[in-house]
A and B are shown apart, each in its own frame.
Chain A
Amino acid sequence: MTAYLKLDHIDKSFTRGSQVSEVLKDIRLTIDKGEFVSIIGHSGCGKSTLLNLIAGLTRVSAGAVLLENKEVDSPGPERAVVFQNHSLLPWLTVYENISLAVSKVFGRTKSRAERHDWIMRNLDLVQMAHARDKRPAEISGGMKQRVGIARALAMQPKILLLDEPFGALDALTRAHLQDAVMDIHSRLGSTTIMITHDVDEAVLLSDRIVMMTNGPAATIGEVLAVPLARPRRRVELSSDRTFLRCREAVLKFLYERHRFVEAAE
C-alpha cells in the first residue's frame, strides 16, 4: 500500500544574500488517509515552514511532497490551510468569505443552489450559521477561527492543514474549538495535519505526534503513536494512563532531550 501523503527526504534552506540558512533537513514521513497528525516542536524549529511546504506555499529545496503519488509544487484547494490568525477577508461577511472559496472550487461543478447549500452545511458544521451576515470584525476570535475552519472544509480538501489554529485563543475557547475539530474529524474522516506547541492539545487530538528537533537543520526526532480510542473526552482522559504516558513522552522529548536553548538563537 502506498502512503496517502509522503514527505520524501525533504530539505529546505533559505538564501538571503550569500547566507544560506538550513531550516529543515531530511524530513521523512508518511501519513495515511484519515489520519490526524500533529507536528510539535519549539518555536523556530521550522514547523510552519514544513506546513507551508505541504501546502505548496513554499517550494522544497530538495526531496518531494507527494500526495497520492503526485508531486506538490504549488498551492491548491485540495490542501486547504487554516491559518493561525484566521486570515478571513475583513471586507466580506462570513458567508461571502466561504462563498469566495466555494465558487472558485465548485463554480463549474455545482449549481448556485447547491453551492448555497454547501456553504450553509459547512457553516452548520462549525455552528456558525447564525453569524452568516456578520463581518469578521464583529465576531470573536474563536468564531473567526471556526469560520476559517469552515472555509477550509468547504474546499473539500484531501488534506486539512492547521497552522497553530488555536494559538491566539484563550484556554476556554481553545478547548471548545478542539472539541469541534475532533467532532468534525470523526464525522468527515478528513486527513489532518496540525502544527501546535501545546502538548495536551497534540495528545488529545492526534493519532500520531511528530516531534521536531531544534533548528537549524531541524528534522523529525521521534514519532509517537497515541493509542487512545475515539471519541475522546478531555475530562475522562485527564486521568487516563495512556494519555498521561503519551503526554510524558512528549514532554520528555521537548524539555529533556531537545530543550530549547535560547542562547542558540
Chain B
Amino acid sequence: MSIQTIEDTKVKAFPTPAKPAAVIAFTAKARRRFDPIAIAGSLATALVPPVIVIAFMLVVWQIACSSPTASLPPPSQVWNEAYDLIAHPFFNNGPQDIGLAWRVLISLQRVAIGFGLAAIVGVALGALVGQSIWAMRGLDPVFQILRTVPPLAWLPLSLAAFRDSSPSALFVIFITSIWPIIINTAVGVRNIPQDYRNVARILRLNQFEFFVKIMVPAAAPYIFTGLRIGIGLSWLAIVAAEMLTGGVGIGFFIWDAWNSSRLPDIIVALAYIGVTGFCLDRLVAAVGAFVTRGTTAK
C-alpha cells in the first residue's frame, strides 16, 4: 500500500510543475499563429530587408550599365528583351523553344535520378565504412581524394564510358553528390552511442534489423546533412554538365544563349537556377527536420 501512495504523490508531484510551462508555451505559439498583426510583423521583418537590398543592387546595376559602351545589359534591358521568359515560364513552342520552367524541370529530373542513386549507394557505402574499421581504413583515403575532383573533370571519362551524353550527365551528378553522403553517413554511424549497440546486441538484432531499426534512425541527422550538401553539389554539377552535353536542360540554355549573344536570357536563367537550388536545399532540410524530429532532441 505504501508503495502505491508514494507512487500517487509522485505522479501528482512531478508533472504539475511541468504542465503550466507547457501551457504557456502553447498559448504563446497559438497567439502567434492566429494573430494577423503578428504574422504581418514577422513577415515584414523577414521580407523588408532583402527587398531593400535587392532594390538597391538593381539601382546600382542600372546606373553602372547604363552607358552605351557597357558590356553587360542593365536590368531595364533584361526586363524588356527577356520579358517572355520572365512572364511565361511554361510556354511550349516546339522541341527547342520552351519556357524556362520546363528546362528547369528537365534538369531537376536528371538531378532526381542521379541524386537518388547517389543517396541509396552513398548511405549504404557510408554505413559500411562507418561500421567496419577495415572498410574505413581501405576506403576512406580513396574517398577523401576522389571527393576533391571537380564535377566536370569526370565528364570526359564518363562520355568515353557511356558513349552518350544523357547517362554521362547523370553519372556526373551521381559522382559529385555521393561523397558528402558517404562521409557524413560514415561519421553518423561511427557516432552511434555504444548503448544503442548494446541494446541491439542484447536483442540479437541481425545485420538488416540493426541497419533499419538502429543505424539509419540514429545516424539520420548526419545522413541528412550529407544529403543536403549533396543536393547542392548535384545542382551545381548539372548546370555545368548540361552546358557541355547539350540537350534541353537549363544549363544548355545558358550555353545556347551565350552562343547567340542573348545576355538578358542568361541573367534570367541564373535567377531561375538560384531560386531552384535554394528550394532544393530547403526541401531536403525540411524533410530532414521532419524525419529526425525524434532523434535530435534527447
Contacts and interface: CB of A to CB of B under 8 A. Distances in A.
Contact of A80 (B10, B11, B202, B218): B202
Contacts of B294: 90-92, 135, 137
Interface stretch (A115-123, A176-184, A191-199): A176-184
Given A87-B195, A137-B297, A137-B298, A81 B6 contact: no
Contacts of A75: 198, 201-202, 204
Given A77-B204, A140-B14, A87 B199 contact: yes
* Among B11, B193, B198: residue with most chain A CB under 10 A: B198
30 contacts: A55-B202, A57-B202, A75-B198, A75-B201, A75-B202, A76-B202, A77-B202, A80-B202, A85-B195, A87-B195, A87-B198, A89-B199, A89-B214, A89-B217, A89-B218, A90-B297, A90-B298, A91-B218, A91-B295, A104-B203, A104-B209, A105-B203, A136-B298, A137-B294, A140-B14, A155-B203, A172-B10, A176-B6, A176-B7, A179-B2
A135 B295 CA distance: 10
Interface in B253-289: none
A155 B253 CA distance: 62
Interface string A67-79: 0000000111101
A101 B203 contact: yes
Contacts of B46: none
Contacts of B3: 179-180, 182-183
A83 interface: yes
Contact of B198 (A83, A104, A183): A83
A100 B295 contact: no
Nearest to A148: B199
B205 interface: yes
Interface of A: 55, 57, 74-77, 79-81, 83, 85, 87, 89-92, 100-101, 104-105, 127, 135-137, 140, 142, 155, 172-173, 175-176, 179-180, 182-183, 233, 235
A79 B201 CA distance: 11
Contacts of A101: 203
Contacts of B204: 75-77, 104
B32 interface: no
Interface in B217-265: 217-218, 220
Closest 4 CB pairs of A and B: A91-B294, A87-B195, A75-B201, A137-B297
Contacts of B163: none
Nearest to B217: A91
Interface of B: 2-3, 6-7, 10-11, 14, 193, 195-196, 198-199, 201-205, 209, 213-214, 217-218, 220, 292, 294-295, 297-298
B195 A104 contact: no
A5 B6 CA distance: 34
A87 B194 CA distance: 9
Nearest to B205: A104
A81 B295 contact: no
A100 B213 contact: yes
Contact of A81 (B2, B202, B217, B298): B202
A100 B199 CA distance: 10
Contacts of A55: 202
A89 B212 CA distance: 13
B111 to A, nearest CB: 29
Contacts of B218: 89, 91
Contacts of A175: 6
A140 B295 CA distance: 17
A177 B7 CA distance: 9
Q: Give the most central of B3, B202, B295: most A CB within 10 Å.
A: B202
A135 to B, nearest CB: 5
A55 to B, nearest CB: 7
A173 B7 CA distance: 10
A137 B297 CA distance: 6
A168 B209 CA distance: 30
Contact of A233 (B2, B196, B198): B2
B195 A83 contact: yes
A49 B201 CA distance: 16
Contacts of A173: 10
Contacts of A90: 294-295, 297-298
Nearest to A180: B3
Contacts of B202: 55, 57, 75-77, 79-81, 155
A234 to B, nearest CB: 9
B198 A77 contact: no
Contacts of A183: 3
A85 B14 CA distance: 20
Contacts of B213: 100
A251 B6 CA distance: 28
Given A76-B202, A179-B6, 5 more contacts: A74-B201, A90-B298, A100-B203, A142-B14, A180-B7
Contacts of A142: 10, 14
Contacts of B217: 89, 91
Nearest to B206: A104
A176 B10 contact: yes
A101 B198 CA distance: 13
A136 B195 CA distance: 15
